[in-house]
Amino acid sequence: MTKIPDYLEKEQVDEILNAAKTCNHRDYLLLRFMWRTGARVSEVINVTPKDIEHKNGVVNIRKAKGGRQRRVPLDQDTLKMLSDYVLALNIPEDQPVFPIQRNRVFNIVKKYGKMTGVNIHPHTLRHSFAINMVRGGTDLRRVQLMLGHTSLSITQVYLQFNDNDLREAYEKVAF
């Protein structure tokens, strides 16, 4: 199994988000969206207000890799922040919520990673999302659907656990 070398623990992501929160609201929301959805950069920069279903608590990723589409759950707090952001900037329904270029997203991620002493790139957040979902008990098939992978064998790379994960699982067993 291939090892994912670049993922962050939840606490590390929280540090990055806190750094962005104190500097720039758009950057914070962008990073939070990436962390909470596992979306690729190309997907994030194409999300429009009409893709966000507040009532159902999902985001439609319409321009996904390979031309596929998928629906990804999103927490109510982030949905509310997105809604407020869209309203404040009066973003039209069919325009990107984050109208920036791919390289700008890379720069934003690098900037806040550097501020917190972590060398990351945007896909690190995707890897972190997936590994934390698996560690949180989400079954691999559901993670596959959220990530938009065509095959479960692609997703199984996220079946990586550290010593604490193994210890926690071990302690739950009644011998």
Residue 24's CATH number: 1.10.443.10
Evaluate whether residue 1 is within a structural domain. Answer: no
40 is catalytic: yes
Residue 24 has pLDDT above 70, yes or no: yes
HSE value, Cβ hemisphere, 13 Å, CA-based, for 52 = 29
What pLDDT sits at residue 104? 98
Q: Two tokens at 117?
A: 């002493």
Paired strand residues for 71: 60
Q: What is the pLDDT of residues 60-110, one digit of tens each?
A: 998 777 778 899 999 999 999 999 999 999 999 999 999 999 999 999 999
Q: Are 138 and 54 in contact (CB under 8 A)?
A: no
pLDDT band at 3 (very low <50, low <70, confident <90, very high): low
25 is catalytic: no
Q: Considering 28, 85, 112, 158, which one is annotated as catalytic? A: 158
Q: What is the pLDDT of residues 133-149, one digit of tens each?
A: 988 889 888 888 889 88
Evaluate whether residue 21 is within a structural domain. Answer: yes
Can you give the residue range of the structural domain that contains 14? 10-172
Q: Considering 36, 126, 127, 135, which one is annotated as catalytic? A: 126
Evaluate whether residue 112 is within a structural domain. Answer: yes
Evaluate whether residue 71 is within a structural domain. Answer: yes
28 is catalytic: no
Evaluate whether residue 2 is within a structural domain. Answer: no
Residue with tokens 């690098």: 110
Report the domain count for the chain. 1
123 is catalytic: yes
7 is catalytic: no
Evaluate whether residue 5 is within a structural domain. Answer: no
